[in-house]
Structure 1
Amino acid sequence: MIILAFLPIVGFAQKYELTGKVIDKSMDYPLEYASISAKSIEDGSIVNGGVTNRKGVFSIQLEKGTYNLEIEYISFEVKEINNFTINKDTDLGTIGLGAKAGELDEVTVVAETTQVDVRLDKKIYNVGKDLTTAGGTVSDALGNVPSVTVDIDGAISLRGNSNVRILINGKPSSVAGYGSQDVFQQLPAEAIESVEVITSPSARYDAEGTGGIINIILKREKTLGFNGSVRGTVGSPRNTGIYTDVNLRSDNFNIFNSLGFSDRKRPGNAVFDNRYPNGESFDRILETREYDRSGENFNLNTGIEYFIDDMSSLTGSFFMRLGDDLDVTTNDSQRFLDGNFIDRSLRSEGETEEDARYQYSFNYEKRFDKENRDHKLTADIQYSSSDETKSAIIDETLETIPGQDILETEDEKSYLVQADYVRPMGDAQFEAGFRGDYSDQTQGFLVERFNFETNEFEIDPDISSDFDFQQNVTAVYTQYGDKMGKFSYLLGLRYENTQLKGKTTPLVPENFDRNFDFDKNFDGIFPTVNLVYELGEEENVTLGYNRRINRPRSWYLNPFPSQSSRTNVFQGNPDLNPSFANAFDLGYLKRWEKITLTSSVYFQRETDAFERVQRDTGRDTQDNIDIIENIPINLSTEQRYGAELGVLYNPAKWLRTNLSFNYFKFETDGNFEGIDYGATNESYFGRFSSNIILPWKIQWQTNAFYRGPRENAQTKTDPIASLDLAFSKDILNDNATISLNVRDLFNSRRRDQFTVTDNFISDSSFQWRERQITATLVYRFNQKKREQNRRGGDSGGDDDGDFGG
């Protein structure tokens, strides 16, 4: 009876499909995110509309009748088709738009694109609209992306897995720190256009990263004429900065330039309560730390794209980052025995760090077919270098503990050569390519301790050393995809040869009876399978399989211990080998008018998985404290299960919401030095964000995050919850925007852990960064604020085509 009651509503409102393709008629290039709107002839109101996809194609539904059509794109003339009558499915064919001279006008977006674009093997998130990251860093922006978490230390994980590969514009880069994630806490979030979360990478991508790939796309305008923006920030704790983005585009070239300077202060704190059941002179140490970190950073990203002709272009770009940081850590240690206070020591560590990173990139692109511009060859050459110098002075109040002077240097050079060929064949597409990624890193570690007898600093021969590490990866790949009716597939095969070489040179070689040098060579075949079945026009099921590798980084291999603490040290393991993983991912996507649902379940099995374990070294400090060592090992296996759910719900123009939830469980199995480190752990995290348009066009954004408890063989970690708020208002005739945001409103983003071993029990609490309040003002010239995410530049050449994605 209910179905019959609704039949009059759904049965007599027959709709027809209106399709077409929008291109730049001067360059015969498809325009992504051009808008199509159908308006009522009577009152001019918008009846329905949509936007074009990456191939410039649109499709909207209209009831039988007569309409006025408008096709629009930023900086292009509006195409109008008046008194258009539709009484059947109609294809308008190819519609060419011409560039518009003069000042840009604001475009009304009929059907705003969602914040996530789902492709065959990845999800693309536009983070440029996230108000809560204004004045923040790349780490802040990544922390708001579904499936991604950034922990208290700034470590980035994907679906709870920290073995993630991070690329910049589809390539490894000095911007990403060659695997180090510290740099993301200095780079401004304003530099990001979008973030691609790739959980089932195709063969085109590096096989590195068992957890998947995060590809960060930097901003790069392609609007004709001269345009840009200036952004200034102030905040508490100190967070000042100024950033400029300018772009000059003509028919023959495109010049882009981003420049930024920031001065930030990031205070933090920690408490470690360590108990030693077998202690004689003391059985408890209460350690309180205060972190006072500050730094100035200068960033430059500039380049020019020259259009040789309609079918080829050459791009040269240069990236530079200069950092000057000062970190002061104070450590108050109190010792107890049977509940009675024994003594205390104050340890002060002042560290200065100078960091310079440079990257030169050249790209050549040749297209072979005007009718199909995806038929192309791209070639890339990239040279990167980084120089980092850390100098630390450590003072102790106890007269028996000598002070230290520490000098750390790190120099790295990297060369990247890459070529990719793409050949579309109707709905099918063939690809093949080569990539060579070769890097050489040298680390110097000089430790001097104060000698009370000579009253001079002397080199510590047990620690001071030089470590040279080379990683050379050579890869070839091929993949083929096709679409047959409702079924699409993309099959790929990648071969990689990995060479890891390490040479350790102690400053006093006669003190060592062990050779830490290694030269390892690994060959790997990495198949990928991505399948899509379309259940409907807005509904599909995906299945992905890929094999991955996790290569140990230099700090995991360097055999000499850190000196940030006398009693808790991290030491690399030169015997560490790469781990390999097989991963499966089953996904489901469904779109309604106001709701987009994405979901997946996944399974991964990793062999020789990395695990960091703590052990007693058997050595004591000068004041008889056991030295605890944290080292990485190859554990036997790790099996990971998980499921994730994402819901985008936009019920009204004034309200947009985004909800995501991720559950995972992993089981580790393995022994080390006779100790069983096998464990079963399950956890979850959820994220909710909402964007509300208040009266006077004030935007209010809320981001909430919650991560459930975790546990491994030794440590239990308590849950973490945090809340971010932001408000913004357009001013000066929408040419400027002022915003205010608060990250970690309740100052609750703190990691609380409880560790139990045979020799000690540790209860700790750590807060990397305290609550941050930031105000931002951005002024735009020759460009209006746009709610839609139109084409913002290349994605680094790692676009795998549609294939039903």
Structure 2
Amino acid sequence: MRKQLLLVLLTLGLWIGLTETQTTYAQFGGPPGGGPGGFNNQDNGRKKAEFTGVTDDAPKGNGKIAGILVDSTSGKPVEFATIALMNVKTNKPIDGTTSDAKGSFSLSKLAPGEYRLQYSFIGYKTRDSKPFTVVKGTDLNLGSIKLPADIRMLGEVVVTGNAALIEEKVDRLVFNADKDITAKGGDASDVLKRVPMLSVDLDGNVSLRGSSNIRVLINNKPSTIVAANVADALKQLPADMIKSVEVITSPSAKYDAEGAAGIINIITKKNTLHGLTLNVDAGAGLRASNLGLNGSYRQGKLGITLGGFGRAMYNRASSTLDQTTLSGGQSIRTSQAGTAFDKPIFGQYTLGFDYDLAKNQSLSANVRYGTRNFIQQQQQLTSTFANEALVNMTNRDVNRKDLSNSVDMNLDYVRTFKPQQEWSISTQYSRTGLTNNYFADLLNNSTGILTGRQQNLNNNTNQEVTFQSDYQTPVRKNQLLEFGGKAIMRQVDSRYQYLVGGSSGELSLDPTNPAGSLKYSQNIAAGYISYTYVTPSKYTFKVGTRYEHTGITATANENTPLNIPAYSNLVPSINVSKGLKGGSTLKAAYNRRIQRPGLQQLNPNVNTANPLMIMTGNPNLSPELTDNVELSLSSTIKKTYLNAAVFGRLTNNAISQVRIPGDTLLGFAKGSIITTFQNLGVQRTFGANVFFNTNLTSKWSLNGGVDGYYMYMQGTTAGVDGKSVTISNSGISIGGRLMSQLQLNKGWSAQVFSFFRGPNPQLQGTMGSFYMYSLGVRKDLASKRGSIGLAAENFVGNGVTMRTTLNSPLLSQVNVNHLYNSNLKVTFTYRIGKMTFEENRRKSRSVSNDDVKGGEGGEGGGQPQQAAPAGGRPR
């Protein structure tokens, strides 16, 4: 399979190279490498003829006119655009030129007369200047001319009056996070709380429209640390470095087929300055402190970046747990009071470079090292009742250590033949090592004397190698063709063992829980084709399909093969948008997605850090399939932008958490509940969301929204007589957010943010509601080289309380969590170095793996007394 795929990729690259040399000059303006459209500077006469339809036979004089073309939204130069000199009387072009790499253009030797200029370029609206008169000696400088994006070509609407907040494209919504004050000094999860359609629970787990089956990318790239634990990976990424967040609810065929609800792509800030710079970001708070240093050097064709970020957190939580199980006709009730103190430390260090091999070729490479040191101290006081009679009381002191280190390395090459026509090759190596251990002291409830000890050791490695090649080319002016291939080779190794000891403290292997291991290899071969067509009536169609073949080899306990068959999937996607009058846009989409199980669901390690809430994976899980449909309308009414959408999801073979009573024959405590994963029946979700943004004044903005969904789930679980029974559950969940920003005089600004999420239905119960809010102010320093800010979070009361309930024929549970997350923080940023803006650098391509199901943290409910399952997720 690997040899065949590499041969396909090699053939694809050779075909592209041959195709480009044979492309007709009449269509693309000449061979590549000679300048804009393939022209060199010595072909100026032919360039004018092909771009404007005129030759050097135009009337001559001594008049001159010049200007600079810039993008109306970003202000960046528009290079290689066409500028035609039109005769006002005849309305015919008589001269012309193109803009250079800085957007500049000039026309000289103009004869006296009445003229106007016409500017045009792919992806922008054609624009005409006002008529002007040229007389003898005229030397006219028009300054900067703004070109607006062509909605028909780009399929996007930019928010009027506040382009820095929301952009809507044919398949995604872009939230620009640059001006977020209260998130400053925080991490990526603090930013994602502000993004429309996303929810972030108290543990940092992210869901989109009620589903945690999403893919999270960083700069279009995956990472094995994200595969291991999305919530922890987001804590490693500083909020100050995030430029924007893309919510892709209807991914095209170009994206990997996984991520049932969609994809979240976090774009970090890229230094576009010229020279040597150093940015310092620091913050100190009651719950967390951070320090970041980021330097860059750019000179000529070479750019180098080096950065480091560290964040230390400290928080406490408490919980109560009451649960009842039926075992052998006997009712066992357990009650537990738990406290926890968290001391996580996160770090991230990056080194990158990019180099322009030629005007139309670039090479980029990056190395990222991430580390996590999560230490939690727990105390668990548990009482067990049989038929309401007290039979046992236990006291446990538990120390959890979740440690990880990850390395991501990528090398990317891009060649641009002309605007929108490019070929890229991307490679990536990613490896994460994870350690998930707990150590428990068993104490006498009355005297506190040590009576025994338990320990679980779980070490994991998650490694992947990716090769990817993509090609895109315009087909005429209103069509775009994209296709490519990809190979992913993944290897996961998880090993675990259990130790027990008596009051002496000496530990030995637990005879009732033998050691075990899981080796899991996954190879994926994929190919896709996507086609975009824009009609004269402002319809944009983006259709495509992707084929993926997945082969799996798995072995448990060194020599026991797991029979997991290979599978193939064809996943189509359709995105349609229509530009309406008044700047409104109507969009409709359909796509099919697959969701492969991750290691958190597969890992057979039995984690008993809390003996009442035991967690283990299921190595025999198979992927789930989801069909998605979406319809949305966006419009700008005066100073207010509105976006409304309805959506539906139908998932078969859904991977869900299932709770069953602990089996005393396996050595589990009476009254315990085991949480594992199974492929269950169906899951249907229907919902809607509304988002708005308005400018109350030129310095005061308000935005927010409401979203809700109805979910129906059906599956099987153990019944009273030992046979499987079918159970179902349904419910409605509603949430909303509100954020306001105010720009004050003398560099002062303020922001307020609030968020609420209602109860969330689960197969066996309901996860409780939660909320959060924050208030922040910031003062820019002289010359805007830095800023100092103050922010407060959840400052009224004593933290957030969340209540989760579970019910099935054999068990019931009520879990109440209280998180003391009030926070006050001071932030400081400063920029050092000589900086001048350089011309827009050519963007690079990179590997984008987004195809593995994460842990269903949204169902976990954020339980401080519960040890998380070990291991990373195979990707």
TM-score by length of 1: 0.81
Offset of 1:677 from its aligned partner? 2.2
Structure 1: 5+ residue stretches without partners: 1-25, 30-48, 59-74, 99-108, 510-514, 799-805
Cα distance in 1, alignment partners of residues 847 and 676 from structure 2: 38
Cα distance in 2, alignment partners of residues 273 and 490 from structure 1: 52
1:310 equivalenced with 2:343 (yes/no): no
Offset of 1:531 from its aligned partner? 0.6
RMSD: 3.6
String of CA shifts for 1:390-446, please: whole Å, max 9, x gaps: 343211114897411222211121111111101013121100111112211111112
Offset of 1:627 from its aligned partner? 2.6
What is the correspondence of 1:470-509 to structure 2 with a 5 Å cutoff?
470-485=521-536, 486-505=538-557
* Cα pair 2:377 2:400 within 8 Å, conserved: yes
Offset of 1:791 from its aligned partner? 9.3
1:134 equivalenced with 2:153 (yes/no): no
State the partner residue of 1:61.
none
Structure 2: 5+ residue stretches without partners: 1-33, 38-70, 82-100, 108-113, 119-125, 131-140, 146-158, 719-723, 849-875
Does the residue aligned with 2:246 lie in a helix, a strand or coil? Answer: strand
1:245 equivalenced with 2:270 (yes/no): no
State the partner residue of 1:196.
246
Does the residue aligned with 2:163 lie in a helix, a strand or coil? Answer: coil
State the partner residue of 1:377.
423
Return the structure number with greater relative CO, CA threshold 8 A, min gap 6: 2
Cα distance in 1, alignment partners of residues 272 and 541 from structure 2: 32
Larger mean CA deviation between 763-772 and 142-151 belongs to 763-772
Larger mean CA deviation between 464-473 and 313-322 belongs to 464-473
Does the residue aligned with 1:361 lie in a helix, a strand or coil? Answer: strand
State the partner residue of 1:595.
640
Match of residue 329, structure 1, among 373, 378, 399: 378
String of CA shifts for 1:712-760, please: whole Å, max 9, x gaps: 3421333222211111111234221111122333454332112233344
Residue 454 to residue 201, structure 1, CA distance change in 2 (3 Å): closer
1:211 equivalenced with 2:261 (yes/no): yes
Residue 52 to residue 320, structure 1, CA distance change in 2 (3 Å): closer
Cα distance in 1, alignment partners of residues 291 and 504 from structure 2: 52
Offset of 1:525 from its aligned partner? 0.2
* Cα pair 2:654 2:679 within 8 Å, conserved: yes
State the partner residue of 2:873.
none
State the partner residue of 1:298.
347
Cα distance in 1, alignment partners of residues 373 and 746 from structure 2: 42
Does the residue aligned with 1:210 lie in a helix, a strand or coil? Answer: coil
Question: Which amino acid is 1:359 matched to?
Answer: D
Offset of 1:478 from its aligned partner? 0.6
What is the correspondence of 1:276-287 to structure 2 with a 5 Å cutoff?
284-287=333-336
Cα distance in 2, alignment partners of residues 117 and 427 from structure 1: 22
* Cα pair 2:412 2:846 within 8 Å, conserved: no
Residue 561 to residue 769, structure 1, CA distance change in 2 (3 Å): farther
Offset of 1:27 from its aligned partner? 9.2
Aligned residues: 712
Match of residue 273, structure 2, among 187, 199, 223: 223
* Cα pair 2:198 2:207 within 8 Å, conserved: yes
Cα distance in 2, alignment partners of residues 648 and 196 from structure 1: 17
Larger mean CA deviation between 738-747 and 602-611 belongs to 738-747
String of CA shifts for 1:233-259, please: whole Å, max 9, x gaps: 11112x222112222223311222221
Residue 339 to residue 86, structure 1, CA distance change in 2 (3 Å): farther
Match of residue 659, structure 2, among 609, 614, 623: 614
Question: Which amino acid is 1:603 matched to?
Answer: G
Offset of 1:277 from its aligned partner? 7.6
Question: Which amino acid is 2:429 matched to?
Answer: Y
Cα distance in 2, alignment partners of residues 333 and 178 from structure 1: 31
String of CA shifts for 1:29-58, please: whole Å, max 9, x gaps: 9xxxxxxxxxxxxxxxxxxx9535899499
State the partner residue of 2:863.
none
Does the residue aligned with 1:182 lie in a helix, a strand or coil? Answer: helix
Larger mean CA deviation between 621-630 and 225-234 belongs to 621-630
* Cα pair 2:690 2:705 within 8 Å, conserved: yes
State the partner residue of 1:779.
830
Cα distance in 2, alignment partners of residues 478 and 96 from structure 1: 42
Offset of 1:794 from its aligned partner? 5.5
Offset of 1:781 from its aligned partner? 3.0
State the partner residue of 1:91.
128
1:431 equivalenced with 2:477 (yes/no): no
What is the correspondence of 1:292-691 to structure 2 with a 5 Å cutoff?
292-335=341-384, 344-369=393-418, 372=419, 374-398=420-444, 402-425=452-475, 426-451=477-502, 456-460=507-511, 462-485=513-536, 486-505=538-557, 517-536=562-581, 538-619=583-664, 625-673=670-718, 674-691=724-741
State the partner residue of 2:768.
718
Question: Which amino acid is 1:291 matched to?
Answer: A
Cα distance in 1, alignment partners of residues 573 and 103 from structure 2: 43
Cα distance in 2, alignment partners of residues 422 and 178 from structure 1: 33
Identity over the aligned pairs, expressed in percent? Answer: 21
Cα distance in 2, alignment partners of residues 56 and 679 from structure 1: 55
Cα distance in 2, alignment partners of residues 145 and 325 from structure 1: 27
Does the residue aligned with 2:182 lie in a helix, a strand or coil? Answer: helix
String of CA shifts for 1:516-569, please: whole Å, max 9, x gaps: 723331100011111111112511111111100011111212233212211221
Cα distance in 2, alignment partners of residues 765 and 413 from structure 1: 37
Cα distance in 1, alignment partners of residues 106 and 184 from structure 2: 38
Larger mean CA deviation between 303-312 and 170-179 belongs to 170-179
Residue 635 to residue 393, structure 1, CA distance change in 2 (3 Å): same
Please tell me whether Structure 1 or Structure 2 has the larger radius of gyration of its CA atoms.
2
Offset of 1:608 from its aligned partner? 0.4
Question: Which amino acid is 2:321 matched to?
Answer: F
Residue 501 to residue 87, structure 1, CA distance change in 2 (3 Å): closer
Cα distance in 1, alignment partners of residues 433 and 669 from structure 2: 38
State the partner residue of 1:125.
175
* Cα pair 1:469 1:554 within 8 Å, conserved: no
Does the residue aligned with 1:520 lie in a helix, a strand or coil? Answer: coil
String of CA shifts for 1:151-197, please: whole Å, max 9, x gaps: 22322111111111112222322352356443223332223221110
State the partner residue of 1:803.
none
Does the residue aligned with 1:572 lie in a helix, a strand or coil? Answer: coil
Cα distance in 2, alignment partners of residues 577 and 535 from structure 1: 44
Choose between structure 1 and 2: higher helix proportion: 2
Larger mean CA deviation between 160-169 and 293-302 belongs to 293-302
String of CA shifts for 1:677-727, please: whole Å, max 9, x gaps: 222221121111111124544221111111122333421333222211111
* Cα pair 2:236 2:348 within 8 Å, conserved: no
What is the correspondence of 1:2-17 to structure 2 with a 5 Å cutoff?
none
Offset of 1:577 from its aligned partner? 0.9
Residue 250 to residue 683, structure 1, CA distance change in 2 (3 Å): same
Residue 275 to residue 669, structure 1, CA distance change in 2 (3 Å): closer
Residue 87 to residue 551, structure 1, CA distance change in 2 (3 Å): closer
Question: Which amino acid is 1:637 matched to?
Answer: V
Does the residue aligned with 2:226 lie in a helix, a strand or coil? Answer: helix
Residue 675 to residue 453, structure 1, CA distance change in 2 (3 Å): farther
Does the residue aligned with 1:132 lie in a helix, a strand or coil? Answer: coil
Residue 95 to residue 708, structure 1, CA distance change in 2 (3 Å): farther
